[in-house]
Structure 1
Amino acid sequence: MAFALPVWLALHEELLAHGAPDSADPLDDFDDDALFQAFHLTRPCIAFVADAVRVRMKNNAAFRSPAAAAAAAVSVDAAVLVALNYYAHGASSADVLQRVGRGRLADPPALICGVSEVVAGMADQFISFPLLRDAKLHVASQIKEACGIPHAIGVLAPAHFRIRAPLTRRSQVICDSEGNVLSVEKCCVGGTCEQEMWETSFKGREMEEELHGPYWVIGKGYHLSKHVMTPVSEPANDNEVRFNEAHAKIHDVMRTTLGSMKRRFRCLMQLGFAQECSLDKKADVIKACSVLHNIAKKFSVPAPPAAGKIEPLHPGNQNSVPFNIDPEALQARQELIQRNFSVGSASKDPPSNAGENL
């Protein structure tokens, strides 16, 4: 979820205090327009990312892998810019490599893998699922304000990322009503159905085991359950139609979020940048781009303009195994629709009671 501005400012001050920038700043070779064209981020945002990577690589021994070592062997700023340029365009620009490396970058793919590993590891700082009561109430109140559905702490969907045609990878993503990524996990083969991803994911198990309390996530293509709110498959009255319209409205936030990510980080349109990088490394790229998406939103960096239509959410493969709808979940959805989407209805629950009664 989005961090409060004072928290981000304090973190930025700590990064600056513990990580001195490289003496020759490769950012100086770019004016602001060229910088955005090359990296799809602004100067303050890139400087923040470079500072965070520098501190992370210096203080965490877990990143002493061969790939991370390759990133550390050159200027951290240069390594970060090589990776950001790849994320932005899906290929490394010869001009950027020359400018930031002065012709001394021998293995750009290894740098990209190394920086991706480090930035993906920063997910514990910059991708935050609401855990505390106040955080859950805040996310739930924003979603309710956006669409009218109460007690929801995220929008759930699988994201498709191409590797090499016709192969794809899918990651399970949860976002809030403002498009901040709250969770990204389960990088699996493209044919994996939504329900299987949810049932085997950490967040899915946590929610279905009541570890996050009586809240929903809003999803489509999943089984209706105690903690996954799906649309009514065959609406029988105006109340259910209104509910489905509200469900579609908030679910469209995920489509917009993933579309924005893929415009900013065009590498997500085709992840086959280096044969020596395993699928785990490609998962690092996906998570790294999710981290950078949240950082870019905090710095209010606009996404590049869309070249065409926003890519729709893929429906995925439905599980062919028959299942029985949980009668308690079905009743809870019907009660929610009756309370919140009948003619003239308006939820009387004050924000402090959100999530106490499904």
Structure 2
Amino acid sequence: MAFALPVWLAVQEELLRHTDSGSDTRSCFDDLDDEALFQMFHLTRPCITFITETVQSRMEDTQLQEEKPELPLDAMVMVALNYYAHGISSAAVLQRVGLGQMDQAAAIIAMVSVLIAGLCDQFVSFPLARDAKANVAVKVQELCGIPDVLGVLAPAHFKIRASPYERSSFRSFVNTLGYTSVVSQIICDSEGNVLSVESCCVGSTGEQDMWEASDKGREIEKELLGQFWVIGGRGYQLSKNVLPPLAAPGTDSENRFNQAHAKILDVMRTTLGSMKRRFRCLMQLGFAKEATLDKKSNIIKTCCVLHNIAMKFSVPPPPAAGKIEPLHQGRQVTSTAEVNPEVLQARQKVIERSFSLAPSSPDPPGDKTTEEKE
């Protein structure tokens, strides 16, 4: 279960008190000033301290402690965070921790990724308390006008390299935009906190197929989280809990609904853009094979955990270097023949109750462009 805000505030206060107390325990991060820390890791000192101590606790609770790492824990975290931030291991960091070979760095990154990815249940999760879920839904409605929404659902594609000589495998990685990728199903809230991330699949996997096969999809469709919607793009089928846009809006109300839908869906685009700016390893995950996707999945999950931690510590992402890439649209789901009539009626009620009248403000829901959080 994710930590509540008061817990996070207490954690931050404790860390700051610990930092100011002049502890004799020194870290390899201590020799770097705050500006250098952000440039090298895209994170702040309190955030890095929290991550290091959390990884230490995780290592003590797992069998990995028996492997006797060749580096101190803080040095291992330094190597991994530097890779996540830049997609490569910088010579300055490797020299600082005393590593001379890239394969050693790769092994350390893989080990740290296993540890942090294993924290998903703690740091990446839906709110479970009734009031907490209601609060998430209220914030979504305030943003776009759609009621009873618990999250935004989308496929997150991450570029990889695959061998063109293995033709069948290569084709399986090619997505509908024509490049090779792996894809993970991600759900976030209206503020950009990641609520769910599934293991990655080959890039040709369709959104609906991923949803139906996912643990979170089955959980939500069984309404184990309550009677809430998740917002999905055009690649998802309308169901009692998944709300895609209308394929062919024919009225002003339906057009306003689609505008509102686009506005909340844009939060996911902003979230993924922010993650890829902070963790540039996600821009290119390197060589991949179908049989060995666990390492890629661990890195994606790790970046989601670290993203949520950075959000709680209010750490801004690095400045944008260009436009944020659009969400992967996937294949349009057009057939409604198998959709339960009650589901169609439920969506129509949302449209009629929330979008039948034009808003009094000059800007109807969805007209304002979602700005990226800095």
Query: Structure 2 matches for 1:341-356, cutoff 5 A?
Result: 341-343=355-357
Q: 1:253 and 1:308, CA in 2 relative to 1: closer, same or farther beyond 3 A?
A: same
Match of 1:227 in 2: 241
Q: 1:108 and 1:273, CA in 2 relative to 1: closer, same or farther beyond 3 A?
A: farther
Distance 2:334 2:347 in 1: 24
Q: 1:35 and 1:239, CA in 2 relative to 1: closer, same or farther beyond 3 A?
A: same
Distance 1:151 1:105 in 2: 49
Distance 1:24 1:136 in 2: 41
Q: 1:161 and 1:104, CA in 2 relative to 1: closer, same or farther beyond 3 A?
A: closer
Task: Provide the TM-score with structure 1 as the length reference.
Answer: 0.87
Q: Which moved more, 1:86-95 or 1:323-332?
A: 323-332
Distance 2:224 2:155 in 1: 22
1:96-146 per-position Cα deviation (integer Å, ceiling 9, x unaligned): 111133769970000000000000011111112122212211111111111
Distance 2:264 2:224 in 1: 24
Q: Gaps (5+ residues) in structure 1? A: 347-358
2:269 to 255, 263, 266: 255
Q: Gaps (5+ residues) in structure 2? A: 163-178, 361-374
Query: Structure 2 matches for 1:40-59, cutoff 5 A?
Result: 40-59=42-61
Are 1:27 and 2:29 counterparts? yes
Query: Are the aligned partners of 1:239 and 1:338 in contact in 2 as well (CA < 8 Å)?
Result: yes
Query: Are the aligned partners of 2:2 and 2:127 in contact in 1 as well (CA < 8 Å)?
Result: no
1:296-329 per-position Cα deviation (integer Å, ceiling 9, x unaligned): 0111111111111101111124579985232111
Report the alpha carbon displacement of residue 281 of structure 1 after superposing the two structures with TM: 1.0
Are 1:156 and 2:153 counterparts? yes
1:197 to 210, 214, 222: 210
1:218 to 220, 231, 236: 231
Are 1:139 and 2:136 counterparts? yes
Distance 1:57 1:85 in 2: 19
Q: Which moved more, 1:143-152 or 1:94-103?
A: 94-103
Q: 1:171 and 1:122, CA in 2 relative to 1: closer, same or farther beyond 3 A?
A: same
Query: Structure 2 matches for 1:34-183, cutoff 5 A?
Result: 34-61=36-63, 63=64, 69=67, 72-101=69-98, 107-164=104-161, 166-183=179-196
Q: In structure 2, give the amino acid aligned to 1:46.
A: I
Report the alpha carbon displacement of residue 2 of structure 1 after superposing the two structures with TM: 7.0
Report the alpha carbon displacement of residue 60 of structure 1 after superposing the two structures with TM: 2.8
2:251 to 209, 212, 237: 237
Task: Provide the TM-score with structure 2 as the length reference.
Answer: 0.83
